[in-house]
Amino acid sequence: MPRYSVHKLRELKAAGRKFAMITAYDYAGARLVEQAGAQIILVGDSLGSVVLGYDSTVPVTMDDMVHHTKAVVRGTEKAIVVADMPFMSYQANADEAMRNAGRLLQEAGATAVKLEGGSHVVGLVRRMVECGIPVMGHLGLTPQSVNQFGGHKVQGKTPAAAAKLLNDARALEEAGAFAVVLETIPAPLARMVTERLSIPTIGIGAGPGCDGQVQVFHDMLGIYDDQRALRHAKRYAVLGAQIRDAVRAYIAEVEDGSFPTEEHSFPMDESTLGELAHAF
């Protein structure tokens, strides 16, 4: 069965059906997410903070993205796998950007790439699409520019900023992007963008008016206790605490001798054992 095509999302929008995207970064996570019904998976450069322990997405490299995207592709059969283009993999020059986007499809097996920004990346998006690389846009609080924004602040609040975001979204659509992520912008603005575009919008911290939503795997599953102070993330489980409890129970059982039991051990033939005991 071939993977879903990126056009599926536009069909869902046309039919008025909402959809959920979720991040995954490895084989196990990707398998679970697809088994749960996700049709689109993002190998986000949030990898940097939730998996690699950096304090932002800025240090993530192309090699990191290729490595993790390969694992996600191996863990999925049908899902659309979108791979993030990391910081400075597309900003320096267009030829390098094309080669890097090509790597994510050719070497890592992604279905599509995602890159951040509006008018300044539109030419690049057009060229990628013309060359057969499906592109997802990303507007609003684009994490690779966190140093420029001076922190994780809601974007698009002033009339000028909101108008720029609307224009950028239109320009991405015209350049051939198949969807656009809207991150941390006011809900009414996200609704307006969604109504004005024929391609789907995928929101994170952008309210219920988007066509789709995206959540970060570790945030929605409660892997970290502090929840990284994210208002837009909803916890559907508290796996961090469950994992710790399970590991604690294992350590305690090893220490008190109650694990392993016969059930987890392999027997040996009595006569072989007898011969051994005799010989040594």
Selection from 254, 220, 232 nearest residue 155 by Cα: 232
Residue closer to ligand KIV, measured from CB, 138 or 191: 138
Does position 112 interact with ligand KIV (CB under 6 A)? The reply is: no
Strand partners, 214: 21
Contact by Cβ (8 Å): 135, 176: yes
Give Cα 160 distance to the centre of its chain. Answer: 30
Residues 6+ apart with CB under 8 A from 216: 22, 23, 44, 46, 50, 204, 233
Site string for ligand KIV, 81-100 (x = CB under 6 A): ---x----------------
In angstroms, give the least distance from the CB of 50 to ligand KIV: 8
Could you say whether residue 179 binds ligand KIV (CB under 6 A)? Answer: no
Question: Helix, strand, or coil here: 136?
Answer: strand
Per CB under 6 A, the list member of 6, 25, 33, 46 interacting with ligand KIV is 46
**Would residue 11 show up in a list of annotated catalytic residues for this protein?**
no
- Note whether 214 binds ligand KIV by CB under 6 A: yes
Query: Which is the catalytic residue, given 96, 173, 183, 275?
Result: 183
Question: CA-based angle 157:213:209, to the nearest 5?
Answer: 55
Quick one: which segment of 43-51, 105-113, 221-229, 258-266 binds ligand KIV (CB under 6 A)?
43-51
Q: By the 8 A CB rule, do 212 and 31 touch?
A: no
Binding flag, residue 181, ligand KIV (CB under 6 A): yes
Distance CA 210, CA 105 (A): 27
Q: Tokens for 61, please give them.
A: 């490299």
Interface residue with ligand KIV among 108, 185, 204, 223 (CB under 6 A) is 204
The radius of gyration of the chain from alpha carbons, rounded to an integer in Å, stands at 23
Q: With CB under 6 A as the rule, give the number of residues binding ligand KIV.
A: 11
The answer to whether 211 contacts ligand KIV (rule: CB under 6 A) is no
**Stretch of 40-48, 167-175, 243-251, 257-265 lying at the interface with ligand KIV (CB under 6 A):** 40-48
- Which positions touch ligand KIV (CB under 6 A)? 23, 42, 44-46, 84, 181, 183, 204, 214, 216
Active site residues: 183
